[in-house]
Amino acid sequence: MRVVVVGAGAIGTVLAGSLAVAGHSVTVVVRPAYLERVRADGLRIEDESGTTRVRVTVEDRPPLDGEDLTILAVKTFDLADAARSLRAVLPLPVLLPQNGLGVERTADAALRTAGWSDPGRYLVRAVNSVPATALGPGAARWGGHGEILLPAPEEAGKAAPHVAEFQHLLASAGFGVRLASGFGRELWRKALVNAAINPVTALRGVPNGELLGEPYRSESLELLHEGARAAARAGFVFADAEIDADWERVVRFTAANRSSMLQDLDRGRPTEIDAISGEILRTAAAHGLDLPRTRAIVELVTARVAASSPRAQPS
């Protein structure tokens, strides 16, 4: 397959590198500032077996035609720009593996402004649990294959025909791919866990495993349970025991990780707080529900970003 991966952060590097190693023809699109460096160095993936260097085609804009599939492997705050960069590209299936909620809406709107007439036919959402840490443009530490959930075709709407294409692509590179019925609930499950883990680890500056002990555990679980109240109003009910078990599993599995939001704060970048906790707050508000702890932590993360970054506001 000819695959375009937009973004060479943690997940973009791991996906692009693994797909290239599996024999696919991969073009990675990076910011112009990183073009020469990533072209010269190739991709670098570190895992427990050592360091793998992978040569791929590197461009600062997507190739115009001839590609089969696209993965927009950028953070939510860069998603609209990344989607608009497909302006001159003939419509082709697009995978959206971002954290957060409302991602399809953002991509759909941006692709419409880029001239695609019916983006919904091409957009396949994914819930990504591949553990990866960015080490710099085109370089990442990979904690193992992890699982990628895709919607069961009957839940993928007009993009249903493309689910199997991404399933086969990702599986061919060794990723565990599962087609999930109740995919909307899976998106909420991941968002709730992110809303509980990411802002606490980011503000406290601790790896995920620290959440297993106090005072972080209570702080994180309170966010989890507040978020679950919003999910219930949106029609996705999670019993405390279920969502607590998910939280515990993810925290233990990723104990050594510095969460993506912590990595963003460390680098003075915007964070995904709006697409995760912000969307949870908006859902709650639409149902007349106030989530004071979530509201407070969104304000704290937003203030921290504004204090440390020239790119204060997500685009």
Question: Residues interacting with ligand PAF, by CB under 6 A?
Answer: 99, 194, 197-198, 208, 250, 254, 257, 259-260
Dig out the tokens for 45 from the structure: 């993936």
Q: How far is CA 186 from the centre of its chain?
A: 14
121-148: string of b/e by CB count within 10 Å (b at 16+)?
ebbbbbbbbbbbbbeebbbbbbbebbeb
DSSP-assigned states of every residue in 103-153: HHHHHHHHHHHTT-S-GGGTEEE-EE---EEEEETTEEEE----EEEEE-G
Minimum distance from residue 40 beta carbon to ligand PAF (Å): 29
Nearer to ligand PAF, 253 or 289 (CB): 253
Nearer to ligand PAF, 55 or 267 (CB): 267
Nearer to ligand PAF, 27 or 294 (CB): 294
Minimum distance from residue 9 beta carbon to ligand PAF (Å): 12
Minimum distance from residue 124 beta carbon to ligand PAF (Å): 19
Nearer to ligand PAF, 226 or 272 (CB): 272
Instruction: Rounding to the nearest 10 degrees, give the CA dihedral for residues 218, 182, 148, 219.
Output: -10
Minimum distance from residue 130 beta carbon to ligand PAF (Å): 9
CB 143 within 8 A of CB 257: yes
Nearer to ligand PAF, 260 or 302 (CB): 260
Minimum distance from residue 90 beta carbon to ligand PAF (Å): 32
